[in-house]
Structure 1
């Protein structure tokens, strides 16, 4: 990282966080995570620089709208047609084996 951040992340801070989270880091992991967390902090600082009060906060870059179609009653299967391919049925319902050996 070429620029110095106002909130530089130190290896000691990362080690402390790892200790609090009960994560055992190798020296190599500690070094790598220190750099990665520093990059994240730097990126957040950059966003903060351009985020102004005249720009509303958003959760999506494009406004969302209802994409559902209206409910329309259409042709449906009859009970007989739905049960026609079932391995077992009782005339009005599918028959399935009990779950986990328990009778329902």
Structure 2
């Protein structure tokens, strides 16, 4: 499996909004490379005859009926909200330029 270049690690750090010093970039490059090698080993396992499953051990799916039920009144739901406008929660923008 190909290793990550330093530039790829810098791009990943930028996307994750993590600042890494030069030494940290070197360490992260090695760590991410090791992780990718582990994924490569997992991907190499022949699973042709393995049926798909949702859990490692058999489990019953215990689901309740999807029945409408009363929810909290708006005033009660918003009571402890640090920021609200009219009848909605106000949350900080996390997408640059969408203020």
User: TM-score under structure 1 normalisation?
Assistant: 0.51
Indicate the structure (1 or 2) with the bigger Cα radius of gyration. 1
Cα separation, partners in 2 of 1:38 and 1:64, compared to 1, 3 Å: same
In the alignment, which residue of structure 2 is the partner of 1:61? 56
Alignment coverage as a number of residue pairs: 64
Q: 1:46-57 residue pairs with structure 2 within 5 A?
A: 46-57=41-52
* Greater share of strand: 2
Cα separation, partners in 2 of 1:35 and 1:58, compared to 1, 3 Å: farther
In the alignment, which residue of structure 2 is the partner of 1:17? 12
Whole-Å separation in 2 of the counterparts to 1:44 and 1:50 = 10
Structure 2 unaligned spans of 5+: 63-78, 81-99
Structure 1 unaligned spans of 5+: 68-98
- Asked if residue 33 in structure 1 is aligned to residue 37 in structure 2, the reply is no
User: TM-score under structure 2 normalisation?
Assistant: 0.53
- Aligned CA RMSD, in angstroms, stands at 2.2
Structure 1 runs of 4+ aligned residues shifted over 3 Å read none
